[in-house]
Structure 1
Amino acid sequence: MSQTEQLNANYKYRINRVFDYIDQNLETDLSLTKLAEIACFSPYHFHRIFKFITGETLNEFIKRRRIETSALELLHNNSSITAIAHKFGFSDNSSFSKAFKNYFKVSPTEFRKQNPHRHTRISQLKSKNGQAYPDSEKYICILTNLKKWIAMNATVNVKTIPKMDLAYVSAIGAQNLQSAYRELMRWATPLGLLNKQTKMLTLYHDSFKVTAADKVRMSAAMLIDTPLSITGEIGVTSIPAGKCIVANFTIGVDEFEKSWTGLFLWMNENGYAKAEREPFEIYHNNFNEHPEKKAIVDFYIPIQ
């Protein structure tokens, strides 16, 4: 690794600490001075490096994360809009509604009303192909088909999982996830950590429901049994023990979004509420080695 690559990896490692702190403290005051201290940079250099790595200023990043997380709260629990506004640092409903509408093009009330099944990807009230969302009759048909899809393609259980320790590399944007996995494997290979029993997983820090694909932050990760010495942009973290919906799929790579959407529908239909922990996938094979190019994968949704 060149000196420049080592420097960039070190910067990413230090910014990862900031990501973790922001994730755990979105409801508190997140000052430039405090976050620069966590990253061990001067405020001036931290501001420049953060924007270089994320493509956003610190204030832009925090504001977006708060708005998007508040949108998920609207979808996944029954808290009042006032409570959600105060939770994420807005002084009143008016300031929250203005910021929310500026981002999603609809008010918080309309957002919640137009997503009664709490799984639809709303963005700007358009589907991916730019067409308006279907009318109620077609929408019910879509829901029915999703329920059938889950029934036919998944084995779903509710389990209490143990704590899982991970080594990981962060990626911002779906387009960068594969390179994060390559970096993780480049680190793990000389340590002898890759074998048939090794479990790889993707941890989702943002949701594709409310975050643009090129800004979704994910971690390419692997389960580890013992504490390890880490270098560069490799980080260590853990998934806490807790209750999860766990669904096993054997699916094509183009069926992941449908599977996640259907599983969140299953969660709502069965009366479960998502916990404030991050969903993730654990892979059991290399889909390129499957005769039908299928991925054997478990999806985990943490629940209350």
Structure 2
Amino acid sequence: MKGVSERHQQSIQRVCEYIQQHLDEELSAEQLSEVAACSRFHFHRIFMAFMGLSTTRYIQRVKLRRASFQLAFEQQKIIDIAIEAGFGSSEAFTRAFKSSFLQTPSQFRTQPDWQHWHSVLQLPMIAKEDYIMDVKIVDFPPRNIAYLSHRGSPQRVLDSAAKFIAWRKQTGLSPVASSETYAVPYSDPNTVAPEDFRLDICGTIQQSQIPYNEFGVIAGTLPGGRCAVARHYGSHDHIGDTVYRLYREWLPQSGEELRDFPCYFHWLNFVHEVDESELMTDVYLPLK
């Protein structure tokens, strides 16, 4: 029989996923306690104990997080984003947004301060260790890519992502609709100093060369070869959970040996397109 703590942890995980999947609906305390299969008299204290904030505050953070991505990566009107986030006017949304991020929505759209955003809006998350990870071995064909190297704090990766998106839009050489998007981390953000972190943001292209550009995007190749691949579901902030499980659980039992190239990610969809709970990312582990 599972312990009380583990049962509660799984209950709170279900609630967090339910909130993210029903963010545009009215979410009552009774409804959430039913999802948790927990007494409504104790639900809020249990949620607070595990997550460190109330359900009301958690819902607000999830909505503001989604609004932040929409501001940074989409061209929706601010009033439409405000209404989707549950505010009755752009003025109310602006006040709440500036109170949280010290920038107005317009300022954030023009020049987002992702460093401060991370310090304010990092959502707590309960690790999911009980799901069965499906790992396949595939032959990955080499890809011609255009890529932008991010160097520095992992918390500023979204700045580099915005530059890469701007390059895509300006040139059309790597359009999102017909191009695959990859990320290649050359170091573990948990084990290197922020200034030593490097991650390449890549988009497949047909040609082998691209013109010089102001964004710093250059042409290269994502090498082919045998790979183990597992799918990560949910926030990119916790993709390390799947990476570590590949190294910790799958690799020792597989009998496989690693190739001299970093693991890399294939982003199948994007946070400004779907709710974070619906994100899907394939994690590739290069093998000999």
TM-score calculated relative to the size of structure 2? 0.52
* 2:48 is the counterpart of 1:108: no
Q: Give a deviation string over 1:205-224, Cα, whole Å, max 9, x none.
A: xx96799xxxxxxxxxxxxx
Paired residues for 1:197-216 under 5 Å: none
Query: Residues 113 and 253 (structure 1 numbering): CA distance in 2 closer, same or farther, change over 3 Å?
Result: same
Q: Tell whether 2:188 aligns with 1:253.
A: yes
How far off its partner does 1:111 sit? Answer: 0.7
Q: Which amino acid aligns with 1:33?
A: E
Q: Which runs of 5+ in 2 are unaligned?
A: 139-153, 159-176, 206-214, 218-233, 252-256, 274-288
Give the CA deviation at 1:245. Answer: 3.4
CA distance in 1, matches of 2:156, 2:134: 33
Counterpart pick for 1:65 among 58, 62, 67: 62
Alpha-carbon separation, structure 2, partners of 1:110 and 1:195: 43
Equivalent residue number for residue 286 of structure 1: 247
Q: Which residue of 1 aligns with 2:4?
A: 7
1:142-181 residue pairs with structure 2 within 5 A?
A: 172=124
How many residue pairs get aligned? The number is: 192
**Pairing 1:300–2:267 present:** yes
How many angstroms apart in 2 are the aligned matches of 1:251 and 1:7?
40
Q: What runs of 5+ residues in structure 1 fail to find an aligned partner?
A: 127-170, 199-206, 212-241, 271-276
Please state how far the C-alpha of 1:34 moved relative to its aligned partner.
Answer: 1.2
Judged with a 3 Å threshold, the aligned counterparts in structure 2 of structure 1 residues 195 and 105 are, in CA distance, closer, same or farther, namely closer
SS at match of 1:14: helix
Look up the match of 2:47.
Answer: 50
Matching of residue 16 in structure 1 with residue 9 in structure 2: no
Task: Give the equivalent residue in structure 1 for 2:78.
Answer: 81
CA distance in 2, matches of 1:18, 1:24: 10
Q: After TM superposition, give the deviation of residue 96 of structure 1 in Å.
A: 0.8
Deviations 1:36-89 (A, max 9, x none): 111122222110110011011111111111112111110121110000010111
Take 1:69 and 1:194, find their aligned partners in 2: how far apart are those partners? 29
Aligned to 2:114: 121
Alpha-carbon distance in 1 for matches of 2:135, 2:91: 55
Going from structure 1 to structure 2, the CA distance change for 1:49 and 1:250 (only over 3 Å counts) comes to closer
SS of 1:302's equivalent? coil
CA change 1:197–1:37 in 2 (3 A) is: same
SS of the residue corresponding to residue 253 of structure 1 reads: coil
State the match for 1:33 in structure 2: 30
Q: What TM-score, normalized to structure 1?
A: 0.50
C-alpha contact (below 8 Å) 2:181/2:268 kept by paired residues: yes
Residues 1:53 and 1:125: Cα distance change in structure 2 (over 3 Å): closer
1:17 maps to amino acid:
R
Report if aligned partners of 2:118, 2:155 keep a CA contact under 8 Å in 1.
Answer: no
Alpha carbons of 1:250 and 1:41: their partners in 2 closer, same or farther (altered >3 Å)?
closer
Query: How far apart are the structure 1 equivalents of 2:14 and 2:202?
Result: 31
Are residues 209 and 80 of structure 1, via their aligned partners in 2, closer, same or farther at CA, if it must alter by over 3 Å?
A: farther
Q: In 2 relative to 1, CA 195–93 (structure 1 residues): closer, same or farther, beyond 3 Å? A: closer
Q: Within 1, Cα distance between the matches of 2:179 and 2:21?
A: 20
Determine what percentage of the aligned residue pairs are the same residue.
21
